């Protein structure tokens, strides 16, 4: 008796499970959100972090640039995730540092630091993602 009725009892829960799985899959789409630099305002002389959100996985390096594009002559620096090594670029002012999570630290920001900043994230597969944010420094 039981072996006959069991399949009929299972059919509905299985369909419910499949529906739940497809809803979960659909619901997980926002986790592929775009790389973002959080724009920020800061008072002159303060230490400021430009935060990077929605980092991809399998990272190889970060490059930060002054301005809205990845212009190599305006590169602030490069951070290699494997070695955790930071190297300065031509636009480094002596006050910037890149953290392992990609965020860019400015020590003692000046009014001159008011600018757009662009990060290029290179993944281990060689593909890159880019995002731009703005830092606005005001006089207190
Ligand atoms: C890159 O930056 C340099 C220095 O600011 C500038 O002279 C040059 O025009 C820029 N190149 C591009 C493609 O924007
Ligand atoms: C990145 O690391 C810095 C320093 O540890 C931390 O202050 C900051 O909140 C981190 N950023 C994010 C987006 O988690
Ligand atoms: C701002 O930039 C200009 C030109 O690059 C420079 O002459 C000046 O000293 C800078 N001012 C500060 C406060 O860093």
Q: pLDDT at position 140, please?
A: 85
Residue 5 lies in a domain: no
Contact 109, 134 (CB under 8 A): no
Give residue 11's pLDDT band: very low, low, confident or very high (50, 70, 90): low
- In percent, how much of the chain has pLDDT > 70? 77
For the chain, the three-class secondary structure string (H helix, E strand, C coil) is CHHHHHHHHHHHHHHHHHHHHHHHHHHCHHHHCCCEECCEEEECCCCEEECEECCCCCEEEEEEEECCCCCHHHEEEEEECCCCEEEECCCCCCCEEECCCCCEEECCCCHHHCEEEEEEEEECCCCEEEEEEEEEEECC
Provide the CATH number for the domain around residue 127. Answer: 2.60.40.10
Nearest residue (CA) to ligand 1, atom 12: 71
- The finding on whether 101 has its CB within 6 A of some atom of ligand 2 is yes
Query: pLDDT tens, 12-71?
Result: 555 555 555 554 555 544 556 899 999 999 999 999 999 999 999 999 999 999 999 999
> How many structural domains does the chain have?
1
Q: State which residues form the domain around 75.
A: 36-138
Give residue 127's pLDDT band: very low, low, confident or very high (50, 70, 90): very high
Task: Give me the mean pLDDT over the 5-16 stretch.
Answer: 52
- The finding on whether 36 has its CB within 6 A of some atom of ligand 2 is no
C-alpha 29/C-alpha 103 separation (Å) is 24
Residue 115 lies in a domain: yes
């Amino acid at each position: 008796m039981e072996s006959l009725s069991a399949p009929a009892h299972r059919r509905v829960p299985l369909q419910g499970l499949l529906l739940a799985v497809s809803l979960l899959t659909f619901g997980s789409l926002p986790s592929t959100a775009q790389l973002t630099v959080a724009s920020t305002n800061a008072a002159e002389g303060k230490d400021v972090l430009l935060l990077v959100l929605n980092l991809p996985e399998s990272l190889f390096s970060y490059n930060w640039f002054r301005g809205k594009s990845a212009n190599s002559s305006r590169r602030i620096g490069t951070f290699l995730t494997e070695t955790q090594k930071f190297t300065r670029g031509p636009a480094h002012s002596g006050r910037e540092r890149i953290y392992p999570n990609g965020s860019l630290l400015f020590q003692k920001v000046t009014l001159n630091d008011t600018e757009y900043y662009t990060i290029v994230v290179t993944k281990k597969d060689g593909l890159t993602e880019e995002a731009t944010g703005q830092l606005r420094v005001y006089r207190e």
